Amino acid sequence: MSDDQRFGLSRHATLPGPLALDGGVTLSPVEIAYETYGTLAADGGNAVLVCHALTGDQHVASTHPRTGKPGWWTRMVGAGRPIDPARHFIVCANVLGSCLGSSGPATVNPATGAPWSMAFPVITIRDMVRAQAMLLDHLGVDRIVVVGGSMGGMQALSWPATFPARVTKAVVIAATARHTAQNIAFHEVGRQAIMADPKWRGGDYYSSGDPPAAGLAVARMAAHITYLSEAGLTDKFGRRLQAREAKSFGFDADFQVESYLRHQGLSFTDRFDANSYLYITRAMDYFDLAEEHGGLLANAFRGTPTRFALVSFDTDWLYPTAESRIIVHALNAAGAAVSFVELSSPYGHDAFLLDAPHLDRVVDGFLRAA
């Protein structure tokens, strides 16, 4: 076991495992890239695990090494923020299957000395959670508060269902307990876009130095539409044209929304691996917490000691409020302590990443409550 504590808080652990995966195979060793902020209290009672979304990473409140941009949740994590290194020991780990240092298709398969590529095992949200649990064991953290939005919220649900004794509180934001047919459909479009790119080469593109960027960009564009509300897109772009101020009667990006989407697609390819996109979307599509518990969601939480806070956004059409209500009803049926609020925001699903003072207050109040 090695623990390479490099610059500041950015860490990397090689854990021996083996990690038994839902797909029936084991992974060993398990690489986990993570960051920590703050200090673990003597009683171990101040640990907060922050779980990231599909294309997120461990750089929750530090500069992203590739893009140079601030951490993805500085509005929630940092000095004076609801999750504060002065009070909390904060852990954020790159999920299994991702591409920012944790084991995934782009990391080396020790059996071959080459990248796993599509030989990497297909993983689930619960597998991501199990890997995080191994990391917490390694860090000497027993009990946690778990917080996450979107796919991070799926992990925040899976945590108490998988390790009930370890989770004191769970904050589940803009999430769902299962992917719907429409959710799966959008992800399938993205996967097909990647796999249709000849540069994908069945996943074996790492040595070519020429990844399937075009396919990945299309995948990102399709997904990005689902992260924004129709009204938000209208407010932000409407039918406004680019600087040329007249239609080109051609196929350049005439409309601002076209240019914006193209930029979102292209810039994404600089920071993300196409195979990781396949694996993580697959994990999300497989997610159905009820199915894991005999078909009844309440069974996932029966007797749970965890206290839950659920938050949805009224303009989120990816994981709409109705999905959060299903979770709340199941928690009620299981006798769990749960609070729930639907917040108003013009920004759709992405609201959890953006400026939303109400969300800050909800999380802050819930974390401070005894």
Report the catalytic residues. Answer: 150, 316, 349
Q: Which of residues 118-137 bind a copy of itself (CB under 8 A)?
A: 118, 121-122
Is there binding between residue 241 and a copy of itself (CB under 8 A)?
A: no
In the block, which residue shows the tokens 């599909």? Answer: 54
**The 3-state secondary structure of 173-213, one letter per residue:** ECCCCECCHHHHHHHHHHHHHHHHCHHHHHHCCHHHCCCCH
Binding mask 259-288 for a copy of itself (x = CB under 8 A): --xx--x------------x---x--xx-x
Question: Binding segment for a copy of itself among 46-54, 165-173, 231-239, 335-343 (CB under 8 A)?
Answer: 231-239
Question: Binding segment for a copy of itself among 71-79, 152-160, 191-199, 353-361 (CB under 8 A)?
Answer: 191-199
The closest of 38, 287, 18 to 152, measured between CA atoms, is 287
Among 237, 333, 360, 364, the residue binding a copy of itself under the rule CB under 8 A is 237
178 - beta bridge partners?
A: 288
Is there binding between residue 251 and a copy of itself (CB under 8 A)?
A: yes
Q: Which is nearer to a copy of itself, 164 or 237 (CB)?
A: 237
Is there binding between residue 255 and a copy of itself (CB under 8 A)?
A: yes
Q: How far is the CB of 289 from a copy of itself (least distance, A)?
A: 12
Task: Say if CB 61 and CB 50 are below 8 A apart.
Answer: no
Q: Which is nearer to a copy of itself, 238 or 335 (CB)?
A: 238
Is there binding between residue 293 and a copy of itself (CB under 8 A)?
A: no
Q: CA-CA distance, 101 to 203, in Å (whole number)? A: 18
Among 142, 204, 258, 314, the residue binding a copy of itself under the rule CB under 8 A is 258
Measured in whole angstroms, the distance separating CA 34 from the mean position of its chain's CA atoms is 14
The closest of 71, 81, 83, 14 to 47, measured between CA atoms, is 83
Whether the bond between 18 and the residue before it is cis, its omega within 30 degrees of 0, is: yes
Question: Binding segment for a copy of itself among 26-34, 42-50, 70-78, 214-222 (CB under 8 A)?
Answer: 214-222
Question: Distances in Å between the alpha carbon of 141 and those of 36, 56, 138, 228?
Answer: 12, 23, 8, 36
Among 33, 133, 156, 218, the residue binding a copy of itself under the rule CB under 8 A is 218
In the block, which residue shows the tokens 């950015």? Answer: 10
Q: Which of residues 15-44 bind a copy of itself (CB under 8 A)?
A: 22-24
Q: How far is the CB of 111 from a copy of itself (least distance, A)?
A: 18
Question: Binding segment for a copy of itself among 166-174, 176-184, 304-312, 337-345 (CB under 8 A)?
Answer: 176-184
Question: Binding segment for a copy of itself among 37-45, 57-65, 154-162, 181-189 (CB under 8 A)?
Answer: 181-189
Is there binding between residue 105 and a copy of itself (CB under 8 A)?
A: no
115 - beta bridge partners?
A: 108
Task: Say if CB 139 and CB 35 are below 8 A apart.
Answer: no
Binding residue count for a copy of itself, defined by CB under 8 A: 55
Cβ contacts of 258 within 8 Å, gap of 6 or more: none
Q: CA-CA distance, 322 to 315, in Å (whole number)? A: 12
Is there binding between residue 238 and a copy of itself (CB under 8 A)?
A: yes
The 10 Å CB-count burial string (b at 16+, else e) for 165-174 is ebbebbbbbb
Q: Which is nearer to a copy of itself, 52 or 179 (CB)?
A: 179
Among 19, 156, 257, 330, the residue binding a copy of itself under the rule CB under 8 A is 257
**The 3-state secondary structure of 44-100, one letter per residue:** CCCEEEEECCCCCCCCCCCCCCCCCCCCCCCCCECCCCCECCCCCEEEEECCCCCCC
Q: How far is the CB of 335 from a copy of itself (least distance, A)?
A: 27
Contact footprint for a copy of itself (CB under 8 A): 22-24, 118, 121-122, 178-182, 184-186, 188-189, 191-193, 195-198, 214-215, 217-218, 221-222, 225, 230, 233-234, 236-239, 247, 249-251, 253-255, 257-258, 261-262, 265, 278, 282, 285-286, 288, 291
